Amino acid sequence: EAGVAQSPRYKIIEKRQSVAFWCNPISGHATLYWYQQILGQGPKLLIQFQNNGVVDDSQLPKDRFSAERLKGVDSTLKIQPAKLEDSAVYLCASKDYRIEQFFGPGTRLTVL
């Protein structure tokens, strides 16, 4: 079974630039999550999708972050404009009806 795929793996941008991350979940997984993991901290949920609908985006800074999951499969997370404090690893996870969330390798973002 293929795991959760994410790209790019690394990204370096300057502040005020925009950036997009892509996630391809495990086939058949209806639920998809984006987490932000700042260095030395645990993952923090940004947004949760069920198929192509948003379940929870209460922690998403909507003035600069946006996410979509067209057709209920792949998802993209965008930051525009980026700030220094957005430097983090962005993790995508997916799950089916069971409890376990499967995580991708993450995208490491550095904002200069």
Partner 1 sequence: QKEVEQDPGPLSVPEGAIVSLNCTYSNSAFQYFMWYRQYSRKGPELLMYTYSSGNKEDGRFTAQVDKSSKYISLFIRDSQPSDSATYLCAMGNTGANNLFFGTGTRLTVIP
**Residues binding partner 1 (CB under 8 A):** 4, 31, 33, 40-45, 48, 55-56, 91, 93, 99-101, 103-106, 108
Is the omega angle on the peptide bond into residue 8 within 30 degrees of 0, that is, cis? yes
Q: Please report how close the Cβ of residue 86 comes to partner 1 at its closest, in angstroms.
A: 19
CA distance 9 to 107: 4
CA distance 61 to 94: 21
Q: Which is nearer to partner 1, 7 or 17 (CB)?
A: 7
Contact present, 81 and 66 (Cβ < 8 Å): no
Q: Please report how close the Cβ of residue 91 comes to partner 1 at its closest, in angstroms.
A: 6
Q: Which is nearer to partner 1, 38 or 80 (CB)?
A: 38
